[in-house]
Structure 1
Amino acid sequence: MSKIGIMGGTFDPIHNGHLMLGEQAYREFELDEVWYMPSGTPPHKRSHHVTEGAIRLAMTELAVDGHKGFVCSDFELSRNGNTYTAQTLGLLNKEYPEYTFYFIIGADSLYEIESWYEPAKVLAQAVILVASREYENADRSMDSQIAHLSSIYESDIRILHCKEMDISSAQLRQMIARGQSIEEFVPQKVAAYIQAHGLYQEAEV
């Protein structure tokens, strides 16, 4: 049975931290592929404008190009309406019953996952791989949080031994709006695409 990693997110823009996580998951858990899947309409991102899906998909394609085992997927973008992880994983398992899915998340998501839409379904439908970084706002250790979730939900949560890059897409958008270079944080092709298309020129309110 093929083992497929899922890296989801708005990827607005995708950056080297996303690629680092996927690379570590690919190697550490001997995955057959890692699918980078830009989200469609993310219900939790209503506080700021999300760039058009086709543009985020194009940046993702450029970012994964040349990386062994990395695939850019439009699985979420091809759906209408809000896209929830619980629904996406359910549809993936239905469409690809021959695959085992590994859902790759950052440390913050491990602590926030119970506030997601139908967290029990998220935790039951994939092996969860979480980056090994203590979350600053947490009131319990990562091991304790994993034990907590495992005791309540039918879940298989494993630590991914990869430190997260201390940069976010929101910070990168702000840097671009201020005219600062982001070339050390994103693949060269992505930086060139952002510049060529004049993306993120206006500061977010």
Structure 2
Amino acid sequence: MFEGGIKLKIGILGGTFDPPHLGHLIMANEVLCSLELDEIWFMPNQDPPHKEKARNVSNENRLAMLNLAIAGHPNFKIETIEFERAGRSYTYDSMILLKEKYPTAKFYFIIGGDMVEYLPKWHRIEELVDIVQFVGVNRPSYRVQTPYAIQSVEIPSISISSSLIRKRMKDGKTIRYLVPDSVRKYMEENQLYES
């Protein structure tokens, strides 16, 4: 992947992916194409610092759904570095490890408008902005404004969230066209998020 000293441009999309949905995939694909990146790495987190509630399903289930969601896209990969560490999943710590592992890569960390507004509260943000290029994408009800240097990418406005999907599953409502069909089938077969 990194042979011959070629400097690849890698987008990192972190999240709980509990479950992954079409909004995640659209965001990743739009940034991939807009910034002409080589790959997007989906990085599921272990214990996100900005969320108090525990995950709703196991790491194994989240990973299985993510694999199904990105199947067929040649430029989408999964990076499990945060599964390999105990404790809070701080982006700074993960990116230091990735920079050591892939010194020739240039990393673009993709965040939605909600996280752009939250950036001043990120762990070691002043150092983090020196090692990654943040990419902010528009999200309904949020402005992509911050004192930090971020690249902005406009994407189609999609108001889908993992919490919406979990609620619909719990209430027995349809999630068709909100998640890839393979993910929907996996959720149904494994009775995930049902009441």
Mean CA deviation greater in 28-37 or 42-51 = 42-51
Aligned twin of 2:10:
4
Aligned twin of 1:154:
none
Aligned twin of 1:197:
190
How far the C-alpha of 1:131 sits from its partner, in A, is 0.7
CA distance in 1, matches of 2:139, 2:47: 28
Deviations 1:11-64 (A, max 9, x none): 000000000011011111111110011111223322354421111111101100
- Give the TM-score normalised by structure 2: 0.91
In structure 2, what residue type is equivalent to 1:14? P
SS at structure 2 position matched to 1:172: helix
Query: Which segments of 5 or more consecutive residues in structure 2 lack a partner in the other structure?
Result: 1-6
Q: Percent identity?
A: 35
Mapping for residues 31-42 of structure 1, pairs under 5 Å = 31-42=37-48
How far the C-alpha of 1:95 sits from its partner, in A, is 1.2
SS at structure 1 position matched to 2:148: helix
Q: Residue 134 and residue 14 in structure 1: after superposition, are their counterparts in 2 closer, same or farther (change >3 A)? A: closer
In structure 1, what residue type is equivalent to 2:72? G
Structure 1 residue ranges (4+ consecutive) displaced by more than 3 angstroms after TM superposition: 133-136
SS at structure 2 position matched to 1:198: coil
SS at structure 1 position matched to 2:110: strand
SS at structure 1 position matched to 2:108: strand
1:124 aligns with one of 127, 130, 133: 130
Aligned twin of 2:60:
54
Mapping for residues 100-111 of structure 1, pairs under 5 Å = 100-111=106-117
Kept after mapping to 1: 8 A contact 2:108/2:132: yes
In structure 2, what residue type is equivalent to 1:7? L
CA distance in 1, matches of 2:134, 2:22: 21
Aligned twin of 2:158:
165
2:174 aligns with one of 177, 181, 190: 181
How far the C-alpha of 1:119 sits from its partner, in A, is 1.7
Aligned twin of 2:4:
none
SS at structure 2 position matched to 1:43: coil
Kept after mapping to 1: 8 A contact 2:22/2:179: yes
- RMSD of aligned Cα (Å): 1.5
How far the C-alpha of 1:164 sits from its partner, in A, is 4.1
CA distance in 1, matches of 2:91, 2:67: 21
